[in-house]
Amino acid sequence: MDTSPPEPRLSALYQELILDHYRRPRNKGALEGATHSVSLNNPLCGDEIDLQLRVDADVIRDVRFIGRGCSISQASASMMTQLLKDRTVPQALTLAARMSAMMQGDESAAKDKSLGDLRALAGVSKFPVRIKCALLPWNALTDAVKP
């Protein structure tokens, strides 16, 4: 019977998922007809994101980003855009709050299936300097949909 802890294998899978989103980002590029857009950067590490959304009747119909930076910020943006399509703005803000909680070390948020692939970033919470990288796209989202 294998008695080794599953952590290293799980960690390797998560690392692969993050690298996959970094190397082959989903929803990257300009969005024609965007109704909301915001640009943010993290001056400490140089990460940048331009987030564009098309919101209709309080539903995010489409979302795209243009960005550059570390694998964590770019993977987080890619994963986020996949989750946001066809969600209401309040649902998106709830996801943003869960993501923030996970980055602050909340174990229940790290297990929250509503975060989908983003749970792969739970380990980032152990590296305080990297938390801002993971939250950059989410901060852009909350800024973009502010009334």
In this prediction the pTM is 0.91
Q: Give the sheet arrangement for strand 47-56, strand by strand.
A: 36-42, 47-56, 59-68
- Give mean pLDDT, residues 15-19: 93
Dihedral sign from CA coordinates of 67, 68, 73, 78: positive
Do 69 and 131 form a contact (C-beta atoms < 8 A)? no
Residue 12: band (very low, low, confident or very high) from pLDDT cuts 50, 70, 90: confident
Is residue 90 pLDDT above 60, yes or no? yes
- Give mean pLDDT, residues 42-52: 94
3-state secondary structure of 69: coil
pLDDT in tens, 117-147: 999 999 999 999 999 999 999 999 999 998 7
Average pLDDT, the chain: 92
Is residue 86 pLDDT above 60, yes or no? yes
Q: Which pLDDT score, from 0 to 100, does residue 13 have?
A: 77
Architecture of the domain spanning 29-144: Alpha-Beta Complex (3.90)
